[in-house]
Amino acid sequence: MKHNILKNIFDFLENEENIRAPFMWKWLNNEPLTEDDLHINGDLDLTFSNIESLPEGLKVGRNLILTFCENISSLPEGLIVRVNLIVEDCSQLYSLPKGLKVGGTLYIGTSPLGEYSEGELRNMVGDDGYLKRIHYL
C-alpha cells in the first residue's frame, strides 16, 4: 500500500513538476533508472543500507559512503566518485571494480578487500588523490 502511494507521488512529481524520484527509492524498488538517475550530483550515503550492489553507469558527484553495508558484494565496473569513496565494515565486499575512478580520497577501513599494490590503488585515485587504508579483517 505505502509503495503504491509513494509511486503515485513520485510519478506525479516527475510528470507534472519535472522533479525526479530519489535514486535510492528507484533502485530499491526496481524502478527503471534513466541516465540522469545514475548521475548523483551530491553525496550518496549508504550507511547501514541493505543493498547488495549498485547499478552500472553510476557516477557520484561528491562522496560515496559505504559503511556498515553488510550485504553489498560488488561495485559496478567503471564507477566514478568525484570526491571520496569510503568503504568500511562491508563484510561481503572482497574486491574493487575495474575502471574505478576516485577524485579525492579512497578510504578503506575494516573490510575484507583483497590486497592491492600501491600502483593499482594509485591508478584508481589518480595523481591528485589520496589513499588511506586502516587494516584488514
Q: Which pLDDT does position 133 carry in this prediction? A: 64
- The grid cell for 104 is 579525492
Contact 134, 109 (CB under 8 A): yes
Q: Which pLDDT does position 35 carry in this prediction? A: 92
Strands 85-88 and 80-81: unpaired
- The grid cell for 14 is 516527475
Q: How far apart are alpha carbons 82 and 118 in whole angstroms?
A: 20
Q: How far apart are alpha carbons 120 and 117 in whole angstroms?
A: 5
**Residue 134: pLDDT above 70?**
no
Among candidate residues 63, 75, 84, 61, the one with its CA nearest the CA of residue 131: 84
* 8-12, 49-53, 58-62, 74-78: range with lowest mean pLDDT: 8-12
**45 vs 19: which has the higher pLDDT:** 45
Summarize pLDDT for 95-127 with one digit per residue, the tens: 899 999 999 989 988 778 777 777 787 788 876
Mean pLDDT estimate for the chain: 87
Summarize pLDDT for 61-94 with one digit per residue, the tens: 999 999 999 999 999 999 999 999 999 999 999 9
**Residue 137: pLDDT above 50?**
no
- Here the contacts of 108-116 (C-beta below 8 Å, separation 24 or greater) are 108/132, 108/133, 108/134, 109/67, 109/134, 109/135, 110/134, 110/135, 110/136, 110/137, 111/87, 111/137, 112/136, 112/137, 113/87
**Residue 135: pLDDT above 60?**
no
**Residue 136: pLDDT above 50?**
no
